[in-house]
């Protein structure tokens, strides 16, 4: 087994003692935010169960968006999409993309600004797993008064941005999109793998086992 070099180790560490002066990005009332979510579920959900990259701890929560609809959808489907260009049809059928706006402007920590490197940020913040270190950064930004984080979406290469917004945990009673777009209608959406029909399935009987005679 070859020796692991310094370049093969994760360079991203925990946040510094202070993030004062960290680059900021303004999200105003005119900024379109795109959120992919389950059909029938509200889009404004600030979660903190630890399954999100920048999840906070109770009583705070994080809601995830992208600045374009396809990136929002890919972030929702990413763990299933992986290296494939198709996902189960049922997953697309149950997903929609809402276009939303904030009622009040807020500044978020801009990790896509080159000045973020001065504070120790690397691109690993956008892709490293598990999420313990990114969540520590999220707490530092929240405690410093930032309203969220701007970062590069993990499952969408290229010039795209995602936002993790902070607020009180749970559902927020904010204006919603009256007509969210079905996932399959989002331009560039992954292809759908048809749901298998019963006639497509082959039933295989379990192998018979020999009964062991008592006393044998």
Of the spans 1-5, 97-101, 188-192, 208-212, which averages the highest pLDDT? Answer: 97-101
CA distance 116 to 133: 16
pLDDT computed for residue 207 by the predictor: 64
Smallest CA-to-CA distance from 104 within 26, 162, 164 is with 26
31-49 tens-digit pLDDT: 999 999 999 999 999 999 9
The average pLDDT across 12-23 equals 98
Residue 197 vs residue 49, higher pLDDT: 49
pTM for the complete prediction?
Answer: 0.86
83-108 tens-digit pLDDT: 677 899 999 999 999 999 999 999 99
Which positions ≥6 away from 215 have C-beta within 8 Å?
none
pLDDT computed for residue 205 by the predictor: 66
């Amino acid at each position: 087994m070859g020796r692991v070099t310094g370049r093969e180790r994760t360079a991203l560490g925990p946040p510094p003692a202070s993030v004062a002066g960290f680059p900021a990005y303004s999200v105003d009332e005119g900024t379109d935010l795109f959120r992919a979510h389950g059909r029938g579920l509200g889009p404004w959900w600030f979660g903190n169960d630890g399954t999100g990259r920048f999840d906070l701890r109770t009583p705070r929560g994080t809601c995830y968006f992208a600045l374009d609809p396809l990136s929002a959808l890919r972030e929702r489907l990413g763990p299933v999409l992986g290296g494939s260009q198709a996902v189960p049809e049922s997953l697309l059928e149950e997903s929609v993309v809402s276009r939303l706006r904030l009622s009040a402007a807020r500044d978020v920590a801009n990790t896509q600004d080159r000045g973020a490197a001065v504070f120790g940020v690397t691109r690993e913040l956008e892709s490293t797993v598990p999420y313990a270190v990114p969540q520590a950064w999220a707490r530092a930004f929240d405690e410093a008064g930032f309203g969220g984080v701007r970062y590069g979406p993990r499952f969408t290469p290229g010039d795209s941005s995602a936002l993790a917004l902070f607020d009180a945990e749970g559902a927020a009673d904010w204006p919603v999109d009256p007509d969210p777009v079905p996932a399959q209608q989002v331009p560039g959406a992954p292809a759908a793998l048809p749901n298998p029909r019963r006639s497509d399935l082959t039933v295989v009987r379990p192998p018979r086992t020999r009964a062991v005679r008592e006393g044998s």
